[in-house]
């Protein structure tokens, strides 16, 4: 077959730049790009997306919806890295390890919505436990997370890296209106019946995430323990190339979590910490917000789709 054509719409943002860099040296596909002067030309963008086999959208939500609306070629397949379609019916959620058969569904989907960075960690921890009945669907979930400042896009990067600018703050808590756009995504794909509490923050480091979810054993079904939750996560991700569940022994020995330890990879590290005497458990996820949380996830989904096309 001919080389598949891949078009990146929005290849000048943090996610788009990384995807472009990853694809530019590949010989198994043809990368379609627009000259600088045409990147904002709606007609040229529409022509490019309709000429592609797979289009990767690295755009804000509204432009992403507009790009999809501009598709007239029924053969065009889409990976949308924005949050525009993550809870929309008809779109396949692009988290291959989330559930049995999800990777195969992504491989054959026409419309794939890339997960958000924070939801990737939250859903990875919650969905296997909710599905198994270890966490009730109406548990009052709180998700706390600190990301590198690149999570704020180009504006976040410029705040810390633009020459001559005042250095950004060491730590910024945000989303104080409690209406962050990731909340519906977490609720839907983690199988929760009640809206979770989400507390995001940025730190003065470029990329990486530490995400945590505290649980009270007294609010969980009888017999649920940290060991049982760990075993469920371990079995759920057994054999997953990019998700590692740390051992109970590792968790006992750990004294801190480094948000940057998996930077520049597509890996996701999950752990279960506990203090049984106090009846408390802490679920954690560490990963790169620009890797497994963005460009790495898009590349993983693209490769699944390309492999299906070559069969």
Domains 5-115+294-310 and 117-289 share a fold: no
Residue 1: predicted pLDDT = 59
pTM: 0.95
d(CA 95, CA 287): 14
- 117 given a catalytic annotation: yes
pLDDT at 156: 87
Contact (Cβ atoms closer than 8 angstroms) between residue 73 and residue 46: no
**What per-residue confidence (pLDDT) applies to 39?**
85
| 59-69 pLDDT tens trace | 999 999 999 99
Percentage above 90 pLDDT, the chain:
86
pLDDT of residue 33: 85
List the chain residues with pLDDT less than 50. none
Contact (Cβ atoms closer than 8 angstroms) between residue 93 and residue 187: no
Convert the pLDDT of each residue in 224-262 to its tens digit: 999 999 999 999 999 999 999 999 999 999 999 999 999
State residue 66's pLDDT score: 96
Between vectors from CA 69 to CA 67 and to CA 72, what angle results, nearest 5°?
100
What is the homologous superfamily of the domain 117-289 according to CATH? Dihydrodipicolinate Reductase; domain 2 (3.30.360.10)
* Domain layout of the chain by residue ranges: 5-115+294-310, 117-289
Which of 56, 117, 190, 268 is flagged as catalytic?
Answer: 117
Greatest alpha-carbon pair distance for the chain in Å reads: 64
Fold of the domain built from segment(s) 5-115+294-310:
Rossmann fold (3.40.50)
Residue 31's pLDDT is: 95
Pair 206, 179: CB distance under 8 Å: no
Are residues 143 and 209 in contact, defined by beta-carbon separation less than 8 angstroms? no
């Amino acid at each position: 077959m001919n080389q598949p054509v891949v078009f990146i719409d929005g290849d000048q943002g943090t996610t788009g730049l990384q995807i472009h860099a990853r694809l530019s040296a590949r010989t198994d596909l043809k990368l379609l790009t627009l000259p600088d002067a045409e990147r904002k030309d709606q007609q040229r963008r529409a022509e490019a997306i309709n000429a592609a086999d797979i289009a990767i959208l690295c755009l804000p939500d509204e432009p992403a919806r507009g790009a999809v609306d501009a598709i007239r070629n029924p053969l065009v397949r889409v990976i949308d890295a924005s949050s525009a379609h993550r809870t929309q019916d008809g779109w396949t959620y692009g988290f291959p390890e989330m559930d049995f058969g999800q990777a195969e569904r992504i491989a054959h989907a026409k419309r794939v919505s890339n997960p958000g960075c924070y939801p990737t960690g939250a859903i990875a921890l919650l969905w296997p436990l909710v599905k198994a009945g270890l966490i009730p669907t109406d548990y009052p979930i709180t998700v706390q997370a600190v990301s590198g400042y690149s999570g704020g896009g180009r504006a976040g990067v410029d705040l810390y890296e633009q020459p001559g600018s005042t250095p950004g703050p060491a730590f910024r808590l945000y989303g104080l209106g409690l209406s962050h756009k990731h909340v519906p995504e977490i609720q839907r794909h983690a199988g929760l019946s009640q809206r979770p509490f989400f507390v995001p923050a940025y730190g003065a480091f470029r990329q990486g995430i530490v995400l945590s979810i505290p649980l009270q054993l007294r609010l969980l079904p009888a017999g649920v323990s940290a060991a049982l939750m760990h075993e469920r996560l371990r079995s759920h991700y057994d054999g997953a190339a990019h998700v590692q569940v740390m051992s109970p022994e590792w968790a006992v020995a750990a004294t801190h979590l480094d948000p940057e330890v998996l930077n520049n990879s597509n890996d996701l590290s999950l752990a279960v910490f506990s203090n049984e005497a106090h009846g408390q458990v802490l679920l954690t996820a560490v990963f790169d917000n620009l890797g497994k949380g963005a460009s790495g996830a898009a590349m993983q989904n693209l490769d699944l789709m390309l492999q299906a096309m070559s069969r």
